[in-house]
Amino acid sequence: MYLAAGTGLGSGTSMTIIYVIAMFAVLYFLMIRPQQKRQKKTNSMLSSLKKGDKIVTIGGLHGTVLEIDNDTVVIRVNEATKMTFDRSAIRSITTSAAS
C-alpha cells in the first residue's frame, strides 16, 4: 500500500519537472531565440554603416550619413540641417552608399 502511494507521488513530481522543462523550451524557441536573431541582425547592420548611406532613425527621421564615430552618427536631413544621433538610434539603412 505504501509502495503504491510512493510510486504515484514520484511519477507526479517527475511529470511536473518535465512540464516545467518543456515550458522553458517553448519560451526559448518562441521568445528568446528570435530576439537574439533580431539583435544580431541589428548589430550587423549598424557595423556595416558607412558615409553616404541613407538611413531612417527610430523616430522616423530620414537622412544621409555624413560622419561616423564609435557611438555617434552625424546625418544630413536637408541642405542646411545636420543632426547627431547615437548609433543605436538608427532603425534601418534604406539605400547603401556606392563603394
Instruction: Convert the pLDDT of each residue in 74-88 to its tens digit.
Output: 999 999 999 999 999
Instruction: Convert the pLDDT of each residue in 8-60 to its tens digit.
Output: 556 788 899 999 999 999 999 999 999 999 999 999 999 999 999 999 999 99
Max Cα distance, the chain (Å)? 88
Q: Is the pTM of the predicted complex or chain greater than 0.85?
A: no
CA atoms within 13 A on the CB side of 42: 13
pLDDT > 90? residue 2? no
- Which three cell numbers mark 84? 547627431
The CATH number that domain 50-99 falls under is 2.30.30.30
Cell 549598424, residue located: 46
